[in-house]
Amino acid sequence: MAAFDRILSGIPEMDTALDNIRLGDNVVWRVSELSEFRLFMEPYLRQAIADGRNIIYFRFASHEPLVENCPEVKTIEVPLSHRFETFTVDIHNEIEKSGRDAFYIFDCLSELQAMWATDLMMGNFFRVTCPFLFILDTVAFFPIIRGKHSVHAINKILDTTQLFLDVYSDKKNVYVRPEKVWNRNSDTMFLPHTYEPESGRFRPILDGVKSSRFYQVLGNAQRSADEQFMDSWDRSFKKAKVLYENGVDITEQCSNMCNIMMTRDAKMRQMVKKHFRPEDYFSVRDHMIGTGMIGGKACGMLLARAIIRNTEPDINEVLEPHDSFYVGSDVYYTYIVDNNFWDMRIKQRTEEGYFALADEFAKQLMNGRFSDEMREQLNRIIEYYGQDPYIVRSSSILEDGFGNAFAGKYESVFCANRGTPEERLEEFEKAIKTVYASTMSLSALDYRKRRGLDKRDEQMSLLIQRVSGSYYGAYYMPCAAGVGYSYSPYSFLKSSDQSAGMLRLVMGLGTSAVDRTEGSYPRLVSLDMPEKTVYSTYADRHRFSQGKVEVINTSIHDLERLPLRTIEPEIPEYLQNILLEHDFDAESRLREMGRRVSSTFISCKGLVSNKTLMSQMQRMLRCIQDEYEYPVDTEFTINVSDSGEYSVDLLQCRPLQVLKDKSGVAVPDNIPQEHILLESKGASMGLSKASKLDIIVYVDPVVYYNMPYSEKNTVAKMIGRINWTYRSSGKHMMLMVPGRVGTSSPELGVPTTFADISEFDVVCEMEEARAGYNPELSYGSHIFQDLVEAEILYTAVFNNSKTLHFAPEKLKGLRNMLEDIDENSGLDDVIHVYDVSRCKCELFNDIRNEHLLITI
């Protein structure tokens, strides 16, 4: 049959009145109860059976079946869960299998609202399903209950469907008033009609008596649906708030608010319900755009604050009150649906498109447009923050939960919030799109794939936070920021207590605390001995200090990483005394040369020597860990006034995955030196293991150093290609690189992402004095968390007593297999891929005795 061909509905006079239902039509019946829908569905079904149609009934709701079991109708049961994408894709897959010219009956769409807690997603489901049915020349009947949905949701369905018919009834009469009949018209088509089910009469109302009766029924129906302008989501919150204000116990309502808005993680839900007060839920809703979940990052932050408030009131007194906003997870899907990106979304979710279509989908996400309603709400947030900077942070549903940290996988974007209102809104929208597009980054996709999450709904919520800080001239920043662990996975101070926790502390914005940045080292703080460092001389403390400070430069409306010397003149003296330290040895040498010059470096000495502050940081981490019954990883800022008063802003909290070494490994002590490739003490991180090695990838430090700066990224890309070539091959691989992996600065090492090194069993960073490359085990950085989660052994080659033996020349006699991967790479002098499977190359790592040995 051809598209738009007339079909019979089983009610001949209705066919005449509506100029027939056509192939491709989606027919929505808005009814007061499902018995009214049956009056029209049953004749349609009988007619379709008589015409020999391919009839499919989608069964997903809790109401009584609309279609009884019969051989002529195929009933497809689709489980209705909170997972919008899974449900929608399941429906689409069945529609695709059924092909063209099928006839459909759907369960009541209003049941979707009950499961998804919002009309928005019901409208999105119809918006993506209706066009798919239309292009396959199908006919589909959908019931929807009057008074259950907002005008916004109904309009979304009206805009998409071909026919929208309102049904009203009383004890004597059944009325139908067409709201929309697409591409057809007549003088009487949109008048109210009477329908007599027994006789099949379907006639327009033309006389005044019948018309007055109809409007009486219509008035009664609309009075019973007086809340129709409000989304079901808002109705439930409004009802809960009224009950609470009238002294009614709303424990059940609070549980529901947690389930639909806070988290899907069972353990997190339990803690939220324990520590949240009713006001907490209402506050979240009042600061929320859209519906759905606020995501893992937002939930973790709010939960941690509630735990501190309820268990450590004195610490709560120094916590900076947050003024965050949240963009619900449903907005992400709505953005995709409204911009007609859903087809690409579905194709990208397939095995073939998962990686292949990611870039294209990311570009679409960057080029979409937000609705006028959404833009109005974004403007209100901008107005609230005035001209203070804020940050748009990812807060996906799967993020920051137990077992899945997603550390550094998604973007966070600082907004300077300066310029004209139009420029500020454009900056905000671009930031949101950037976070949305980061769901398609290779690192994020690979992470989800590796952890079996690639088939799960990954809706991106957003956490919008005002940047905590002060103005220093044109620069805006907090005094200090960092990450805090309630348990230190590795003891960087020999006598420290790992259970005391640790901080990774920097001056300025906290990005430098989680990234490996050029010439910068954060202050590592063991909270049982916060003033102690691993460096004994001023020279070493200066050399391995934070070299650059990250700030928001309000004059150029952007983020900047500045040398200390640039920003130091803007820092008031009291704060310099807290954050900076003098290199007295260097100043002494300069005086001997006749130069009286101050030589300072960032040490955060005044913070780590503040016993009350350090004790509170330790107790804060401890009380959260006690509630989580699991180590936690937090992000925070610290601000200090000239009077010495300080405040801590807790920005993030998530479970910290810690490697637990269950058994030691005996490292052989009788290996001749000529068979040792590498042996070290105290230079490794990871679980004890003993295994063979099949592949060693070695990047020559000197050749890499001499490469043009602009070409060094090609080395990182090739390592990524090698990584993916051997993906799932079962081979045990080791990567050896100069300086640091995971850095963004080629002068510090090879600028790989974790997705470039995820298949390696061992990653080795090599010091090379001639080129100035230095390894750094960056406790608390995102790359650190990646290595821990993937159980990748990290080791380093230092030019000191930690390295007992290192003989890379033993590899030079082996053939470089890089040409097998890419014979035209031009990188075979810098990257060497060695097959060591026949060399009896074995790895032994004893983490208890911090002893590593690799034989060859």
Could you tell me where the DSSP H helices lie in 10-70?
A: 12-17, 34-50
The residue segments making up the domain with residue 551 are 498-609
Is the same domain home to 361 and 438?
yes
Backbone torsions φ then ψ of 374, nearest 5 degrees: -65, -45
Instruction: Kindly state the tokens that stand for 155.
Output: 């309009």
When divided into structural domains, the chain yields a total of 4
Is the same domain home to 677 and 748?
yes
Q: Is the dihedral of CA 565, 569, 575, 578 positive or negative?
A: positive
Paired with 482 in beta bridges are 505, 636
Task: Report the pLDDT value the prediction gives residue 256, as an integer from 0 to 100.
Answer: 94
Q: Evaluate whether residue 650 is within a structural domain.
A: no
Report d(CA 433, CA 327) in Å as an integer.
Answer: 12
3-state secondary structure of 383: helix
Is the same domain home to 93 and 167?
yes
CATH number at residue 176: 3.40.50.300
Q: Which residues of the chain have pLDDT under 50?
A: 226-227, 780
* Residue that the structure tokens 């430090």 belong to: 701
Q: Evaluate whether residue 458 is within a structural domain.
A: yes
Q: Evaluate whether residue 668 is within a structural domain.
A: no
- Phi and psi based region of residue 652 (left: phi greater than 0; alpha: psi -120 to 50; beta: remaining): beta
Q: Evaluate whether residue 565 is within a structural domain.
A: yes
Is the same domain home to 18 and 45?
yes
Between helix 421-437 and helix 372-385 the angle, nearest 10°, is: 110
Task: Report the pLDDT value the prediction gives residue 788, as an integer from 0 to 100.
Answer: 74
Domain boundary among 193, 223, 253: 223
Instruction: Kindly state the tokens that stand for 282.
Output: 């209402």
297 contact partners, CB below 8 Å, separation of at least 6: 393, 394, 395, 396, 399, 400, 463, 652, 654
CB 685 within 8 A of CB 660: no
Query: Element (H or E) spanning 722, and its range?
Result: helix 712-725
Instruction: Kindly state the tokens that stand for 792.
Output: 């990748």
Percentages helix, strand, coil for the chain (3-state, rounded to 5) are 40, 25, 35
**Torsion, Cα of 109, 110, 113, 114 (10° steps):** -120
CATH number at residue 269: 3.30.1490.20
Is the same domain home to 198 and 255?
no
Q: With CA atoms as reference, report the closest residue to 677 among 514, 808, 518.
A: 808
Query: Element (H or E) spanning 676, and its range?
Result: strand 676-681
CB 684 within 8 A of CB 793: yes
Is the same domain home to 238 and 203?
no
CB 23 within 8 A of CB 138: yes
Is the same domain home to 789 and 817?
yes
Q: Evaluate whether residue 666 is within a structural domain.
A: no
Report d(CA 138, CA 641) in Å as an integer.
Answer: 69
Chain centroid to Cα 784, Å, comes to 19
Is the same domain home to 785 and 825?
yes
pLDDT digits (tens, 9 = 90+) for 562-596: 999 999 999 999 999 999 999 887 777 877 777 77
Q: Evaluate whether residue 730 is within a structural domain.
A: yes
Per-residue DSSP letter, 792: -
Task: Report the pLDDT value the prediction gives residue 541, as an integer from 0 to 100.
Answer: 87
Domain boundary among 452, 467, 482: 467
Instruction: Kindly state the tokens that stand for 211.
Output: 């018309």
CB 721 within 8 A of CB 822: yes
CA angle 397, 385, 374 (to 5 degrees): 55
Q: With CA atoms as reference, report the closest residue to 72 among 57, 61, 90.
A: 57
CB 298 within 8 A of CB 262: no
Instruction: Report the amino acid identity of residue 740.
Output: R
Backbone torsions φ then ψ of 461, nearest 5 degrees: -90, 170
Domain boundary among 195, 223, 251: 223
Report d(CA 15, CA 529) in Å as an integer.
Answer: 84
Could you tell me whether strands 6-7 and 21-22 are parallel, antiparallel, or unpaired per DSSP bridges?
antiparallel
Is the same domain home to 211 and 297?
no
CA angle 719, 447, 765 (to 5 degrees): 40
CB-CB neighbours of 565 under 10 Å: 9
Instruction: Report the amino acid identity of residue 604.
Output: C
Report d(CA 424, CA 415) in Å as an integer.
Answer: 8
pLDDT digits (tens, 9 = 90+) for 729-759: 889 999 999 988 877 778 778 888 888 888 9
Q: Evaluate whether residue 849 is within a structural domain.
A: yes
Burial of 673 (0-12, 13-18, 19+ CB in 10 A): exposed
* Residue that the structure tokens 């009380």 belong to: 623
Is the same domain home to 61 and 100?
yes
Q: With CA atoms as reference, report the closest residue to 554 among 384, 419, 380, 383.
A: 419
Report d(CA 132, CA 139) in Å as an integer.
Answer: 11
Q: Evaluate whether residue 477 is within a structural domain.
A: no
Query: Element (H or E) spanning 266, and its range?
Result: helix 266-275
CB 108 within 8 A of CB 115: no
Q: With CA atoms as reference, report the closest residue to 705 among 757, 736, 750, 756.
A: 750
Is the same domain home to 58 and 145?
yes
Q: What is the 3-state secondary structure (H, E, C) of 571-606?
A: CCHHHHHHHEEECHHHHHHHHHCCCCCCCEEECCHH
- Phi and psi based region of residue 443 (left: phi greater than 0; alpha: psi -120 to 50; beta: remaining): alpha
Report d(CA 484, CA 631) in Å as an integer.
Answer: 11
CA dist list (Å): 105 to 27, 42, 67, 454, 767: 10, 10, 8, 31, 68
Report d(CA 24, CA 2) in Å as an integer.
Answer: 10
Is the same domain home to 147 and 259?
no
CA angle 477, 478, 483 (to 5 degrees): 120
Report d(CA 503, CA 780) in Å as an integer.
Answer: 8
Instruction: Give CB contacts under 8 A, 24+ apart, made by 171-176.
Output: 173/213, 173/214, 173/217, 174/36, 174/39, 175/205, 175/214, 175/217, 175/218, 176/14, 176/202
Chain centroid to Cα 851, Å, comes to 38
Beta-strand ranges (E) seen in 303-459 are: 325-327, 390-396, 412-415
